[in-house]
Chains A and B, each alone.
Chain A
């Protein structure tokens, strides 16, 4: 009986401890004294299709691991046959970071002192980047996701975002290049052209899928008109029943 009481006390203490960690929208956290952000990426952004590479991350591609190479070769084979390889997004799996950032849909970003919320117009994918100084989520507690566990800090004129904690399935960097649970992405976000454009330099490592660092830079245009705002977009259970190409027998599962 004493053991049960002690366990209950310990549990309450743990809960109380967590309660002291303020959420990003807690007024006491939002108003906490901290260095002024050097950039504000609040706005609606649209991938710059005129920028080299635009909506894909390669080629060039890094040297792939043998397991990833199998997927890559199978995807290229499907491509030459006019087929699609593992079109998971078409089956309503999330695109995930980094691919979600390059979909040809607007992305709205709301920057607060403690957090950046990114909502993609594509399936309303939510990405949370914590700016309140917290470390990454404890590896024993992390809930792996397609957009990962992101923390950001300001370095000069850049917002530097560090992201880990990705899922290890149905998640692709480009067609045939799988992302694993070892994926680690560092993004350097900068505003250019007087804030009309946003550039992100990606440095990606994933020792389960490729060797070394994979560096890519992408650019987005600020879009301020009402017709470029994000809207409610979901992949509903009946969506693909009306979209025949998602059910084509030609698709390579």
Chain B
């Protein structure tokens, strides 16, 4: 499968997730039905940990509220193979980085969600989608 084929495949996956009521991500190791895709949450905070691993990468982000109380959000991401095609490296984010992470939140209200994009300190933005190259600040 060449790169363009992979992009078509990703678009098809996106269609499947939107079209499927049960939202079973066969590419994930679990169902993501617990994710509320009708909402988006912007997490402005600091990377606590970044896991570059199979089958999922993940990120923990410390997010302070207006009172300065910090909540750690758990963000689930796709596999490194997908992220590499979207321009990621294992070193793209590291603990201590200031980031803004856009997620679909959990339905149950716990501080966690499914990754959509990250905006780094230099203003560039990365998603999980191939064909969505890193935007310039």
Q: Which residues of A contact B (CB under 8 A)?
A: 46-47, 49-50, 55-56, 78-80, 82-84, 87, 89-92, 102-105, 122-123, 175, 221, 223, 225, 227-228, 231-235, 239-240, 242-251
Q: Is the CB of A250 within 8 A of B30?
A: no
Q: Answer whether residue B86 sits at the interface, using C-beta atoms and an 8 A cutoff.
A: no
Q: Which residues of B contact A234 (CB under 8 A)?
A: 54
A225 contacts B34, C-beta separation under 8 Å: no
* Chain B residue nearest to A99 in the complex (CB): B26
Contact between B34 and A243, CB atoms less than 8 A apart: no
User: Looking at chain B's contact residues, is the secondary structure mostly helix, strand, loop, or mixed?
Assistant: loop
Known A-B contacts A228-B1, A245-B106; A49 and B29 likewise in contact (beta carbons under 8 Å): no
Contacts known (A102-B26, A103-B26); A82 close to B107, Cβ less than 8 A: yes
B113 — which chain A residues lie within 8 A by C-beta?
A: 244
Most-contacted residue by chain A among B9, B55, B111 (CB, 10 A): B55
Docked CA distance A30–B113 (Å): 51
Number of B interface residues in the complex (CB < 8 A): 40
| A121, chain B: closest CB distance, angstroms | 9
A49 touches B81 (CB 8 A): no
Q: Are A103 and B27 in contact (CB under 8 A)?
A: yes
Tell whether A242 pairs with B74 under 8 Å between CB atoms, given A89-B29, A223-B1, A248-B110. Answer: yes
Q: Is the CB of B51 within 8 A of A242?
A: yes
**Shortest distance in angstroms between B94's beta carbon and chain A's nearest beta carbon?**
16
Instruction: Give bound CA distance, A122 to B55, whole Å.
Output: 8
